[in-house]
Amino acid sequence: MRALLVVNPAATTTSARTRDVLIHALASEMKLEVVTTEYRGHARDLGRRAADSDDIDLVVALGGDGTVNEVVNGLLHAGPAPDALPRLAVVPGGSTNVFARALGLPNDAVEATGAILDALETGSGRTVGLGIAAGTPDTPDEGVPPRWFTFCAGFGFDAGVVGRV
């Protein structure tokens, strides 16, 4: 199995030492390419590259919900194609990790990596529902591309608050 590990170096709950442990654990079970994000949208670009690749079987997102969202949007840049896309695994590294917790993963990055390795060994996985935010027929997109989301989306006041944060 060939995997791409997308690492957000600004992830608030992982250290360089923890990342090294995770990399070693994952690399012991698969051919692993590790890429550290360098700019906003880089995780999306890496997800897109993985989606377009013929030899990446798994993308592991190490970061918070924002990193996961970027990777998902990269993987789905051409729309959903469940049999043609790499699988996604999430290692929580953000401050809240809502998506990882919704999947039932431990909030500890090392424990979550162990759970991912166990799931890969047994061949288990799960399908998750996704949503997409796009323009309306009256205002198709107003120059804003559609965005996939994994667990929630907001508009109006709550989106304004999130945008300011």
The pLDDT of residue 138: 58
Q: How many CB atoms lie within 10 A of CB 103?
A: 17
* List of domains in the chain: 2-122 (3.40.50.10330), 131-164 (no CATH)
The pLDDT of residue 156: 77
Q: What is the pLDDT along the chain (165 residues), one digit of tens a residue?
A: 999 999 999 888 888 999 999 999 999 999 999 999 999 999 999 999 999 999 999 999 999 999 999 999 999 999 888 788 999 999 999 888 999 999 999 999 999 999 999 999 999 999 888 888 876 555 555 666 788 888 876 667 777 776 776
Query: At residue 97, what is the residue type?
Result: N
E-only strand ranges, 85-149? 87-92, 131-133, 147-149
The pLDDT of residue 115: 96
The pLDDT of residue 110: 95
- Written as six digits, the tokens of 51 are 């989606």
Asked if 8 contacts 37 with a C-beta cutoff of 8 angstroms, the reply is yes
Q: Within its chain, how far is the Cα of 49 from the centroid?
A: 13
Q: Angle 146-81-84 (CA atoms, 0-180°, nearest 5)? A: 135
How many angstroms separate the CA atoms of 116 and 111, rounded?
9
How many angstroms separate the CA atoms of 33 and 59, rounded?
10
How many angstroms separate the CA atoms of 18 and 146, rounded?
34
Q: Within its chain, how far is the Cα of 123 from the centroid?
A: 20
